[in-house]
Amino acid sequence: MSNAANPRTLLIVGGSGFLSGTLARTATARGYQVWTITRGRQPLPAGAANLRADRHDPAAFARAVAAAQTHWDLVVDCIGYEVADARQDIEVFRERTRHFVFVSTDFVFDPAHRRFPQGEETAYYLQEGYGGNKRLCELEFINGDTGSMAWTILRPCHIYGPGSQLGCLPLHGRDPQLIAKLRSGQPLQLVGGGHFLQQPILAADLAALILRAGESPATRGQIFCTAGPELIESRDYYRIIADILEVDLCIKELPVDQHLSAHPETATFLCHRIYDLSKLRTAGVELPATPLAKGLRQHVESLLPG
């Protein structure tokens, strides 16, 4: 662990977003010297040094990183989702960091062929869309020339917490009006009645896990499912929010087949998202532990006025 005399160094690709901002604040609080690389359009967490560049301008991105003249202990890409992003990560950072963490997603799994619980290995990955693109990014690290740079890939499920909107299912996913709808007694339209199982992970817990993974030799060259400590039905996620607001929860069930017929792109949300975390345990990485009710209270209170 870092100390004041010899702080660890971290560069975040991103830094002003939901997860990346949470990671920057968590790392700063733990004594890291934190850099971010962003377009400079959003406020940055206090204490972070920013390298200003748009990653979609490869030459400018490479120049900004080179100009820092720094070799980082850890680099984390919180925002990459195209093959070009992963290739850029390898090319630009393989000689500039000891350890690289790429944040992927549990959407890489084909929802029609999941196991319960789902482990890291499967023969059934999505071939298109967001999850398909993330899987292609993973393959760049698996098959690419990363030189002496160690890498770790994390596949988080639904991430919640301050800095984002509430909601984990279509029609009420990241819904900025969710609190107002609940307070007005408006029924929530939940596909399948919200019976799908999942393990939401608090952003602050995921940020701490990223740092632990970056500090552990046992995670090098490995992929890990990352999820929260509780297995719940999605409707219970909304019920906890209603209880925090001290209002009743009213659910209108929407047929799954009907919704998927009209919105096939939402299939990755409409399945059980439960994970085997034994590989993380075997690697000696401390698992997320914040109870969902506690984390959701933090999230709700962050969105209330005053």
For 154-168, how does the pLDDT look when each residue is reduced to its tens digit (9 = 90+)? 999 999 999 999 999
**DSSP letters spanning 139-175:** HHHHHS--TT-EEEEEEE--EESTTS---EETTEES-
Q: What are phi and psi of 247, to 5 degrees?
A: -130, 165
Averaged pLDDT for residues 126-151: 97
pLDDT in tens, 57-109: 999 999 999 999 999 999 999 999 999 999 999 999 999 999 999 999 999 99
Q: How confident is the model at residue 1 (pLDDT cuts 50, 70, 90)?
A: very low
Averaged pLDDT for residues 160-185: 97
Structure tokens at 128: 């298109």
CA distances (Å), origin 108, targets 87, 137, 162, 211: 18, 10, 25, 23
Compute the mean pLDDT over every residue in the chain, rounded to the nearest whole number. 95
**Please, which residues have CB within 8 angstroms of residue 299's CB and are 6 or more apart in sequence?**
160, 161, 162, 164, 166
2, pLDDT greater than 60: no
pLDDT in tens, 102-125: 999 999 999 999 999 999 999 999
41: number of Cβ within 10 Å: 8
pLDDT, residue 6, reads 53
pLDDT in tens, 224-267: 999 999 999 999 999 999 999 999 999 999 999 999 999 999 99
What pTM value is reported for the model?
Answer: 0.96
* DSSP label of 294: H
pLDDT, residue 46, reads 85
